[in-house]
Amino acid sequence: MSDILSRHRQLCELLVEYGHQYYVLDNPTVPDAEYDRLMRELIALEVDHPELKTPASPSVRVGGQPLSAFSQVRHEIPMLSLDNVFSDEELQAFEQRMRDRLKRELNFTFCCEPKLDGLAVSLLYVDGQLVQAATRGDGATGEEITENVRTIKAIPLVLRGSGWPARLEVRGEVFMPKAGFEAMNAKAQAAGEKVFVNPRNAAAGSLRQLDSRITASRPLSFYAYGVGIGGDELGNSHFARLNQLKAWGLPLSPEVKLKEGAAGCQAFHDDILARRSELPYEIDGVVYKVDDIALQQELGFVARAPRWATAHKFPAEEEMTL
Ligand SMILES: Cc1c[n+]2nc(N)[nH]c2nc1OC(C)C
């Protein structure tokens, strides 16, 4: 039995490491075929020894028994939406409104991020293990999609390293990379099956499957963009928090940068817009967030959106009329 146990542990460790290299470091060291071979061996081993199968085992990536319905999850900390700016003038006004509110002539440092065109989700890790995943829903209540999210190889089932809060809620975007979207649609078209209009709809449709084996067959990925529960145990910089999440094994867009003032945000906006068509994922704008958490808390929220953050949306991309 011990060699079964040690082989099971070894397979789990290898699959976790290869998944991390591929999805978080974007630096795979083995071909996909090797990952798939190890996964097949793990699944076969757990069929013979079902007691070894746990929610932390990489074998959950292939999905399991379908649900009859989704249950609802109440977000302990509401998941809010974002106000928008559409021009440089509105961006300056956004910054000035915060100065007025704080009654201080502050030079803000902003954490600037691409605004991915996917589905916002909340991931709850308890003692480093992924125990619950939920959609944003209406911001107060979302759908519980834990089994589906467990099939997304970019999302760690167990956090890496140490020092994380006992309860850590990671917020971010589940998305379908452009290449995966095109390949999936080409296959669906060839098979006379339903094709999706765009990667966002494909990601939403794939996540809302009651059968997680269907979700597992879809090329979904994830980028973290914030922290909910447990954030108060992390530092006073949003950017540092995001990089801490990356150290714990969560993927972070390589485009996330710190910029000074509205001018820095505008430069970030112009750079991402210029490279929009080369990015491997679809975005509908960029997001600027005051990096200092204490200032975020002093600024608070207006209705459902924070005073301390805004999206800067791009014009809708012209659809090619073939
Ligand atoms: C709705 C949303 C969406 N996004 N997308 C990114 N990158 N950050 C981010 N933050 C959000 O909301 C927080 C600022 C509360």
Locus of tokens 């746990």 = 54
Which tokens hold the place of 316? 């809708």
Determine the pLDDT at residue 163: 97
What pLDDT, in 10s, does the model give residues 247-295? 999 999 999 999 999 999 999 999 999 999 999 999 999 999 999 999 9
Decide: 214 and 67 in contact? Cβ < 8 Å. no
What pLDDT, in 10s, does the model give residues 58-69? 999 999 889 999
Locus of tokens 């998941």 = 79
Determine the pLDDT at residue 153: 94
Nearest protein CA to atom 10 of ligand 1, as residue: 225
State the CB neighbour count (10 A cutoff) for residue 21: 15
Say if ligand 1 is within 6 A of residue 224 CB: no
pLDDT bucket at 1, cuts 50 / 70 / 90: low
**Average of per-residue pLDDT across 38-55:** 95
Out of 53, 103, 115, 153, pick the active-site residue. Answer: 115
Helices then strands (H, E): number in the chain? 10, 13
pLDDT bucket at 320, cuts 50 / 70 / 90: low
Say if ligand 1 is within 6 A of residue 139 CB: no
* Buried b / exposed e along 104-121 (16+ C-beta atoms within 10 A): eeeebbbbbbbbbbbbbb
Would the pLDDT of 241 be above 90?
Answer: yes
d(CA 39, CA 263): 48
ipTM of the complex as predicted: 0.96
d(CA 261, CA 52): 53
State the CB neighbour count (10 A cutoff) for residue 246: 19
Would the pLDDT of 318 be above 80?
Answer: no
d(CA 123, CA 113): 19
d(CA 178, CA 176): 6
d(CA 253, CA 116): 10
Closest ligand 1 atom to the C-alpha of 113?
7
Would the pLDDT of 309 be above 60?
Answer: yes
Please confirm, yes or no, whether 178 is among the known catalytic residues.
no
Answer left, alpha or beta for residue 128, where phi above 0 means left and psi between -120 and 50 means alpha.
left
State the CB neighbour count (10 A cutoff) for residue 60: 20
pLDDT bucket at 193, cuts 50 / 70 / 90: very high
- Where is pLDDT greater, at 307 or 200? 200
Identify the sign of the CA torsion 284, 140, 244, 309: positive
d(CA 284, CA 20): 27
User: 11 CB contacts (<8 Å, ≥6 apart)?
Assistant: 38, 41, 42, 45, 58
What pLDDT, in 10s, does the model give residues 102-157? 999 999 999 999 999 999 999 999 999 999 999 999 999 999 999 999 999 999 99
Say if ligand 1 is within 6 A of residue 81 CB: yes
Determine the pLDDT at residue 269: 97
User: 44 CB contacts (<8 Å, ≥6 apart)?
Assistant: none
Determine the pLDDT at residue 310: 92
36 annotated as a binding-site residue: yes
